[in-house]
Structure 1
Amino acid sequence: MRILIWHVHGSWTSAFVRGVHEYLLPLVPGRGPDGRGRAVTYDWPDSAREVPWDRLRDEPVDVIVYQRPHEIDLAREWLGPRAARLPAVYVEHNTPVGDVPRTRHPLAGQSTITLVHVTHFNELYWDNGRAPTCVIEHGIPDPGHLYSGELPRAGVVVNEPVRRARVAGTDLLPRFAERVPLDVFGMKVEGLPYDTYEDLPQHAMHAELARRRVYLHPYRWTSLGLALIEAMTLGMPVVALAATEAIEAVPPEAGVLSTKVHVLAGALADFAADPERASQAGKAARAAALARYGLSRFLSDWDELLGQV
């Protein structure tokens, strides 16, 4: 198939474009959010091909994968009348915001585009209306068991840590840092009292992250951070807020989940002080992540859905 898809979420797209299809990635001048083209910090196959937006009318397209409501209008503008006739699905990456029990999804009022949630939590908490829904859980390429845990520190991955402070739990980091030194990976922000690592290529970030003794996932409200799954596949033990889908993703033997900050801080300190225990929990985390979030299952689920639509 020839699949039109926007580069919105780098880690998720990195898994999606590893299928057997051809992936058309819109490109706009300046690589703005409506047309980033190929990723810079991820290693994508040649089948993921960027196409200038003004040449899409000449490209054969079999199916469209939307991820933001306005992409439906962009497709109509860039593809012309055929956009309305093409099969399409919509991937919802995010948890609902606002008055959550009553949050109605933007596609809830239609029944022709399947709404694909990335977690069962999301499908449960969004008001999907009459839209057909399904859940295709995350899948990631296996980075390998890179864990050494040589540094008795905690690694955290978070972009936009200031704007997303409550969502990402960045406001909690000072309380954790009282017990264990923290290294923050993602988007660097001046003034954070931690060592930060900005915009590393994915393989370099994985190698650096795996040197830390334990992974900290402080997110209050996210579907299921792919960085958490990646850390688990690296072989890292994890300490996470018991929120959203994390309670389904992390088995007890792989780390510690709690809504009590002092319990999580204590778990970080315990892992930092006990390399053997950390290594054993990390092995369990890797096994659990590969069993549930393997790339082959993810791509198989997507092939089945795309074949149906």
Structure 2
Amino acid sequence: MNILLWHVHGSWTTAFVHGRHRYLVPVLPDRGPYGLGRARTYPWPAAVQEVTPQELPGAEVDLVILQRPEEYELACRWLGRRPGRDLPAVYVEHNTPKGDVPASRHPMADRDDLLVAHVTGFNQLFWDTGTTRTTVIDHGIVAPGVRWTGELDRFAVVINEPVRRWRVTGTDLLPLFAEIAPLDVFGMGVGGLGERLGLPPERLATHEDLPQERMQAEIARRRAYLHLCRWTSLGLSLIEAMAIGMPVVVLAAAEAAVAVPPEAGVVGTRLETLCDGARRLVAEPETARRLGAAARRTAADRYGLDRFLADWDRVLEEELCGSR
């Protein structure tokens, strides 16, 4: 199958393109948000091919994966065909609703020409998609090539744009945990974060735009992983940390509340509970090791790549056959 999709979320796309299909990824000269092309910090297989808008009208495309509302019009213009009408389309919803959440209408609501695939059950529950068909395909990850060692009494955090997103990503909560152990914050747009939070470099260090393999190797040396997001879908970096074998400290919000069982880490909505658990992980390395082992089993059982790709193959085949 020839699948057209935009490079939007690096970890999710990396897992998706490890399937058995051919993947066409738009590229623009400036490699902006609608033309990133192949990933530069993630390892992608040769089955992923860059394609320019000028090449798309003549390209063989069997199905379109949409991930942002603007991509529908782009696909119509660049392909000369309408996703959902002239060829099958699946809209992948990565995000939790914004604004008036109980009444949030999905941008693809009330459509009979495509399927909305949510990446979590929480998202499917909270988005109002009207009469549009929906399904849930839980995340999957490419298994990291490193294992947790935890020899550094420090916490690892992965956040993209922590200053702009602030309370959404729990950035304001980081100083509480920096009092327990130093923090290493990885991600895009993390420069200057310590200064913004009033934390000296010895309490918060930032690491920006590292290749995925190097970042995971660094994270694996930290004692535990912090996931303090209040309102995000489900951070794949959290699942990757669990797959490494790291114990996790998790704010029980959105899908994270059910993705992490109690035996895999410290999970709760009370900050004192999370802080007490974080102190225990620093003081008791064997406890950290035991929770991390359970986290690794959970990640393998629930978020393995084979299950993810099998789920997607089933949906893709159903949509392709249903359009004939």
Q: Same fold (TM over 0.5)?
A: yes
Q: Percent identity over the alignment?
A: 58
1:34 match? 34
1:51 match? 51
1:28 is displaced (CA, Å) by: 1.0
Alignment of 1:200 with 2:202, yes or no, is no
1:237-256 Cα shifts (integer Å, max 9, x gaps): 00010100111111111001
Amino acid at match of 2:212: Q
1:145 is displaced (CA, Å) by: 5.2
Amino acid at match of 2:52: P
Amino acid at match of 1:125: F
Amino acid at match of 2:18: R
1:248-277 Cα shifts (integer Å, max 9, x gaps): 111111001111112111111110111111
Q: How many residues align?
A: 309
Amino acid at match of 1:173: L
The 1:191/1:300 distance shift into structure 2, 3 A limit, reads closer
Query: What secondary structure is seen at the aligned counterpart in 2 of 1:81?
Result: coil
Contact 2:146 2:216 in 1 (8 A): no
Query: What secondary structure is seen at the aligned counterpart in 1 of 2:30?
Result: helix
Contact 1:179 1:266 in 2 (8 A): no
Query: What secondary structure is seen at the aligned counterpart in 1 of 2:60?
Result: coil
Contact 2:146 2:217 in 1 (8 A): no
User: After the TM superposition, which residues 105-254 of structure 1 pair with which residues of structure 2 at under 5 Å, given as runs?
Assistant: 105-144=106-145, 146-187=147-188, 188-192=190-194, 193=199, 194-254=204-264
Q: Which runs of 5+ in 2 are unaligned?
A: 320-324
Contact 2:184 2:206 in 1 (8 A): yes
2:71 match? 71
1:176-202 Cα shifts (integer Å, max 9, x gaps): 111121110112321413111111110
Contact 1:222 1:244 in 2 (8 A): yes
Query: What secondary structure is seen at the aligned counterpart in 1 of 2:162?
Result: coil
2:322 match? none
Matches of 1:239 and 1:145, distance apart in 2:
20
Q: Which runs of 5+ in 1 are unaligned?
A: none
TM-score between the two structures when normalised by the length of structure 2 = 0.94
Amino acid at match of 1:127: D
Alignment of 1:270 with 2:280, yes or no, is yes
Amino acid at match of 2:60: P
Contact 1:144 1:233 in 2 (8 A): no
Query: What secondary structure is seen at the aligned counterpart in 2 of 1:168?
Result: coil
Matches of 1:82 and 1:197, distance apart in 2:
42
RMSD, aligned CA: 1.0
The 1:24/1:219 distance shift into structure 2, 3 A limit, reads same
1:38-65 Cα shifts (integer Å, max 9, x gaps): 0110000000111112111121000000
Matches of 1:133 and 1:179, distance apart in 2:
43
**Bigger CA drift: 76-85 or 155-164?**
76-85
Matches of 2:148 and 2:39, distance apart in 1:
26
TM-score between the two structures when normalised by the length of structure 1 = 0.98
